[in-house]
């Protein structure tokens, strides 16, 4: 007996032709439509091969003579009962959800909709879903089709398999990263081959990144709402096919050579990054599809195939949407779980992908009752699978459904995006100072920052069996929200270009414009006097207020970067933040495939400084085990744990922090000593000065420390390579700049004598950053 569980789904090559297998549980007929070019090259000639129904809603058949390169689609007939969620229409040429390659683009028109529509906006003729009638319009030529190909095979042994403790994630859009890169040849920009270009690889490795996390690269279909506005989905969070790469991201040469060449370009690009020691993580969207709401969206694949088997529907056939995108896949159903598992394994084995970030991941853990469970079938299956358990699995731990915020609630081996880290860091360095500068009540934010700095034990635990700080993928910015530069230059979002009257995107930005909203001229560039460029008539031609604001903004960027990189957990940088990229205050440019979203690699001097600062911070993290320990930091007076930093908190006067100090709204400065006795390497002291005015700290009497040597100070624009500060004694009163971070190396007595003076030729960092205080 043939079953869906034992049969390879999709159209797969075999000796003499291909096999076909499709799950369509409520269908009455399923045909594979083999598509050959019509005479003259206009349209297709269809050859229909009926499939046979098997138990479990499986339809199978043989396709003799089919070869690689064959274009095909599916036609499915069955009941039309919208109130029951059944929307079969044999006039629709559907994409096989298991197609390994796709070809063609969406050509928007009434043909794509299974229900009748009217007007140029393709609005439903009947607003009530239950009253909608089947359109009967043929969608052939208007929708992408599948292509029969042999899956490539990646070299599993070449994967870097970087430990979590050494991982630094770099989130990027495949197209936007290289679209403007001057060293990438024009024909490679915005493609897989462009990502693998030596200039891009060198930037990533010199920066200190170990993994590239790409926004969605699976085949995309824009939402109908965007199509009605004449726009397209740039970010890609609107999946059409979970197996096929998005063809637009391949070079023109690969697309011209055919789908097999597109797949080969993906595999070869991943291999090139592996050769440089870089992992490749994919942002994947299994929570919903591009088909939108059943009553309003097109019928492209799952909806016409088996809507009740793939989507979560209510008792009246309407979508139950926990994603905010019109529909939600139902992972309480085995065929949905299998679709995701088969797809994920394919990307690992065919292309060599090293891991995945799961968009709106609580939806993947929602069962038939709609509630989230950490022991949901798909989540447990991924952790137990022999292929996927050897990859990095990262959850975006929130969706828009009931009880949708689930940070800290995913099972092993998942790591999670830590939004509480983002909020705590930006609250301390941006939101609280903004309110204080405006005379508003502020609070301190110090306790929350300390909790995030040390691994978010409230979310990821610290005891036996808990996941610990490596489960926290910490970030201060991501693709959605302000860039680092914009978070320091805008109090409010400026999203008008998105076409939604500035309604889209969050209003909870925790940002600070430092007294002036935006950049000079209101454009999307962070260049100009507000970030340190000098006017044509020299420095005197620049407004002194703008220079002051520019310096403050740059320091805030460095503070946020330092907080991210020096914290326990796995840091994630957003592409372009290392060079101060701006989006002109747009915090949601999901539909803007233009200079708003692309990284501009033409760097002003201040951007070069920021890039070097980011490199220095990541090198500092890599060099000090106490900063990337897998075990959570422990209080110094607690029982030592192998691999765990020992943690001591001191106030600005060099006294141990008392519990009430954490709740004092005026207390905005703290010193934290990270002891390396259980991690190896050197002890470090971090000084976090969050006051609006310059001040002093007393270097603490940490047991075993005879003095401290300054390694890095955010008040300094750019440190000379290898510079060391003067050796300061325990108890020394040290001036610190307002809103700044300092990193000291704790020196035991033996080192104090040996390091009292710099070696010949060694640079010395400025201990009094007077130029940064202007």
Closest CA to 588 of 509, 691, 667, 528: 509
Q: Would you state the torsion angle of the CA atoms of residues 347, 348, 351, 354, taken in this order, to the nearest 10 degrees?
A: 110
**276: burial class by Cβ within 10 Å (0-12, 13-18, 19+)?**
middle
Active site residue 171: no
Question: Could you give the CA distance from residue 218 to residue 343 in angstroms, rounded to a whole number?
Answer: 10
- Strand 415-418 relative to strand 58-64: parallel, antiparallel, unpaired? unpaired
Catalytically annotated residue among 96, 296, 319, 359: 359
Helix ranges (DSSP H) in 626-734 = none
Measure the CA–CA gap between 580 and 613, rounded to whole angstroms: 12
Is 396 assigned a catalytic role? yes
Q: Is residue 288 helix, strand or coil? A: coil
CA-CA-CA-CA torsion for 614, 615, 617, 618, nearest 10 degrees? Answer: 110
DSSP secondary structure string for all residues of 585-606:
T-S--TT--STTTSPP----HH
Place of tokens 């060391």: 724
Q: Please give the DSSP secondary-structure letter assigned to residue 721.
A: T
**C-alpha distances in angstroms, 176 versus 140, 208, 359, 514, 594?**
32, 20, 19, 28, 8
One DSSP character per residue, 569-585 reads SEEEEETTGGGT---TT
Closest by alpha carbon to 683, among 655, 645, 714?
645
Identify the active-site residue in 31, 246, 396, 577. 396
Phi-psi region of 586 (alpha: psi -120 to 50; beta: other; left: phi over 0): beta
- Angle among Cα 159, 161, 164 to the nearest 5 degrees reads 150
User: Could you tell me what percentage of the chain is helix, strand and coil, using 3-state DSSP and rounding each to the nearest 5?
Assistant: 30, 20, 50
Cite the active site residues. Answer: 359, 396
């Amino acid at each position: 007996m043939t079953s869906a569980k034992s049969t390879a789904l999709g159209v797969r090559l075999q000796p003499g032709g291909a096999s076909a297998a499709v799950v369509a549980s409520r269908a009455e007929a399923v045909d594979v439509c083999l598509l050959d070019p019509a005479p003259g090259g206009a349209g297709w000639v269809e050859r229909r091969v009926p499939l046979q129904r098997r138990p479990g809603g499986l339809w199978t058949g043989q396709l003799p003579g089919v070869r690689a390169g064959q274009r095909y689609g599916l036609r499915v007939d069955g009941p039309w009962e919208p109130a029951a969620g059944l929307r079969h229409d044999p006039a629709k040429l559907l994409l096989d959800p298991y197609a390994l390659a796709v070809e063609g683009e969406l050509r928007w028109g009434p043909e794509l909709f299974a229900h009748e529509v009217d007007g140029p906006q393709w609005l439903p003729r009947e607003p009530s879903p239950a009253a909608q009638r089947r359109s009967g319009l043929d969608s052939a030529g208007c929708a992408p089709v599948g292509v029969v190909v042999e899956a490539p095979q990646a070299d599993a042994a070449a994967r870097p398999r970087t430990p979590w403790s050494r991982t630094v994630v770099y989130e990027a859009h495949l197209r936007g990263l290289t679209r403007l890169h001057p060293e990438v040849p024009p024909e490679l920009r915005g493609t897989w081959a462009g990502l693998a270009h030596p200039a891009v690889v060198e930037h990533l490795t010199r920066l200190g990144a170990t993994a590239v996390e790409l926004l969605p690269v699976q085949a995309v279909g824009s939402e109908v709402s965007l199509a009605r506005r004449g726009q397209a989905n740039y970010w890609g969070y609107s999946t059409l096919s979970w197996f096929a790469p998005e063809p637009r991201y391949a070079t023109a040469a690969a697309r011209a050579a055919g789908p097999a060449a597109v797949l080969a370009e993906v595999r070869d690009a991943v291999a090139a990054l592996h050769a440089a020691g870089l992992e490749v993580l994919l942002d994947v969207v299994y929570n919903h599809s591009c088909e939108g709401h059943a009553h309003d969206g097109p019928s492209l694949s799952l909806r016409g195939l088996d809507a009740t088997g793939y989507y979560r529907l209510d008792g009246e056939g309407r979508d139950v949407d926990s994603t905010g995108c019109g529909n939600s896949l139902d992972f309480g159903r085995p065929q949905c779980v299998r679709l995701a598992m088969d797809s994920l394994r394919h990307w690992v084995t065919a292309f060599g992908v090293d891991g995945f970030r799961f968009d709106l991941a609580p939806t993947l853990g929602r069962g038939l009752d709609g509630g989230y469970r950490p022991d949901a079938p798909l989540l447990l299956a991924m952790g137990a699978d022999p292929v996927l358990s050897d990859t990095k699995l990262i959850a975006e731990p929130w969706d828009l459904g009931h009880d949708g915020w689930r940070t800290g609630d995913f099972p092993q081996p998942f790591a999670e995006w830590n939004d509480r880290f983002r909020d705590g860091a930006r609250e301390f360095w941006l939101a609280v100072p903004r309110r204080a500068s405006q005379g508003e009540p502020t609070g301190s934010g110090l306790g929350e920052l300390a909790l995030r700095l040390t691994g978010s034990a409230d979310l990821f635990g610290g005891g036996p069996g808990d996941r610990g700080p490596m489960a926290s993928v910490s970030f201060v910015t991501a693709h959605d929200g302000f860039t680092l530069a914009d978070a320091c230059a805008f109090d409010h979002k400026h999203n008008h270009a998105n076409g939604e009257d500035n309604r889209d995107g969050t209003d909870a930005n925790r940002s600070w414009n430092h007294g002036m909203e935006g950049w000079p001229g209101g454009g999307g560039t962070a260049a100009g006097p507000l970030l340190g460029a000098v006017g044509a008539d020299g420095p005197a031609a620049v407004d002194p207020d703008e220079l002051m604001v520019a310096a403050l903004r740059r320091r805030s960027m460095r503070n946020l970067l330092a907080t991210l990189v020096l914290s326990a957990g796995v840091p994630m940088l957003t592409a372009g933040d290392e060079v101060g990229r701006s989006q002109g205050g747009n915090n949601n440019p999901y539909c803007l495939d233009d200079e708003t979203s692309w990284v501009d690699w033409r760097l002003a001097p201040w951007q070069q400084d920021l890039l070097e600062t980011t490199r220095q911070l990541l090198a500092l993290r890599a060099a000090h085990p106490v900063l990337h320990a897998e075990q959570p930091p422990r209080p110094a007076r607690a029982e030592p744990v192998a691999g765990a930093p020992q943690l001591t908190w001191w106030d600005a006067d060099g006294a141990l922090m008392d519990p009430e100090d954490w709740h004092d709204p005026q207390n905005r400065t703290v010193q934290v000593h990270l002891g390396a006795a259980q991690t190896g390497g050197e002890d470090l002291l971090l000084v976090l000065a969050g006051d609006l005015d310059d001040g002093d700290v007393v270097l603490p009497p940490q047991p075993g420390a005879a003095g401290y040597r300054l390694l890095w100070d955010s008040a300094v624009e750019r440190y000379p390579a290898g510079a060391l500060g003067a050796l300061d004694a325990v108890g020394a009163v040290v001036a610190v700049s307002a809103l700044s971070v300092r990193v000291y190396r704790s020196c035991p007595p033996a080192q104090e004598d040996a390091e009292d003076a710099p070696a010949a030729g060694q640079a010395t960092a400025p201990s009094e950053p007077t130029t940064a205080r202007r």
